Amino acid sequence: MAKEKVILAYSGGLDTTAIIPWLKENYDFDVICCCIDVGQGNELDGLEQRAKYSGAEKLYILDVVDEFVDDYAIPCVKAGAVYENKYLLGTSMARPLIAKKLVEIARKEGATAICHGATGKGNDQVRFELGIKALAPDLKIIAPWRCTDTWKMKSREDEIEYCKQHNIDLPFDASHSYSRDRNLWHISHEGLELEDPKNAPNYDHLLVLGVSPEKAPDKETTLSLTFEKGAPVALNGKKMKASDILKELNKVGGENGIGIVDIVENRVVGMKSRGVYETPGGTILMAAHEQLEELILDRDTLAYKKGIGDKFADVVYEGKWFTPLREALQAFVESTQQYVTGEVKLKLYKGNIIKQGTTSPYSLYNESIASFTTGDLYDHHDAEGFINLFGLSLKVRAMMMQNKDK
């Protein structure tokens, strides 16, 4: 009789390597590893051999970089979705796509369960499992770090010893380093000195995608970004797909110390955590998109959209991508992007993004109205009546207070 199959969200790191023999030992499953490539670069090197030596029956490596950027990252750019005013949702926006692909492989393989290596303290367990529940409510979810009766390992040393006991000799040691998550949008860093908020980050040791502003070259870098309906379509006049634009912006942004954020954030599970995020390309895209919207969106829409962006960020952060609310919020955002088309020029300098001019065929900026010289569309005398009406409630209240004091 064939064994049941489990799909393991596999990164090739120590945790998911140790999970393979643990699943076989405690569940007698055939383990199908699945690595979702969202742009984590050389972290994928050697995965196939590692999974095989650890006891996996099969390994899938799925390249979903373009889908990640087009269908998850760019909608967040259009929404202006920033969690707690700083975090550009790099890990958050990738998790629902990973969950979606795990479900697809589970259906293809006829698996009965999906396993992930997220801990019981973090956000990722929530994001993975909400995505799986929304797409495949019949599949069992296994989270080893919450299985405290059978998952006895509490440290890297324990995991390495467990692997040795199962004849898995892999190139891991017990030395501690930052806990990182990387994709094409960003890289996050947690642990070591960052665990105490009183400590400054050791940027010389920590940074991966670029340098600190202090180490950036003492020269300016100028660039232009072209958007169509809110999505980036060209960099410096060259038409490119969004993922290639992001790759180029990561390079130039990293070189100029752009997009480094040190934040203490509120996790979904109720605790605060401190992390440093590098998001060079995403930070530039967000700034350029915002600069273009300033020129195009009317006052009421722009103001209301800011609240929608905050809510969109909360929904994504909490792992609620596959929900009617996210779909409705995104539908509103898309309706605001119909005319967000134009070119944005920027200058990068030592961590700063400096405006260099914006043009759009749909600009609402009218020089005849805005100029200090009187134009045909604005009569200064009209302002007097407007101010009288706009301030009427203030004047009535002030009169009442005067009479009361008498």
Active site residue ranges: 15, 95, 124, 179
How far apart CA 355 and CA 37 sit, in angstroms, is: 34
**147, two tokens:** 């299985």
Dist. CA 72–CA 334, nearest whole Å: 13
φ and ψ at residue 24, rounded to 5 degrees: -65, -35
Q: Say how far residue 204 (Cα) sits from the centre of its chain.
A: 24
- Placement of tokens 């919207």 in the chain: 293
Q: What is the token pair recorded at 20?
A: 């393979």
Residues 61-88: b if buried by 16+ CB within 10 A, e if exposed: ebebbebbbeebbbbbbbbbbbbeeebb
Cβ partners under 8 Å of residue 268, min gap 6? 123, 126, 317, 318, 319
Q: How far apart are CA 362 and CA 339, in angstroms?
A: 6
What's the rounded Cα separation, in Å, for the pair 158 and 302? 53
Token code pair at residue 321? 């991508």
CA distances from 251 to 99, 150, 184, 278, 373 (A): 28, 44, 11, 12, 44
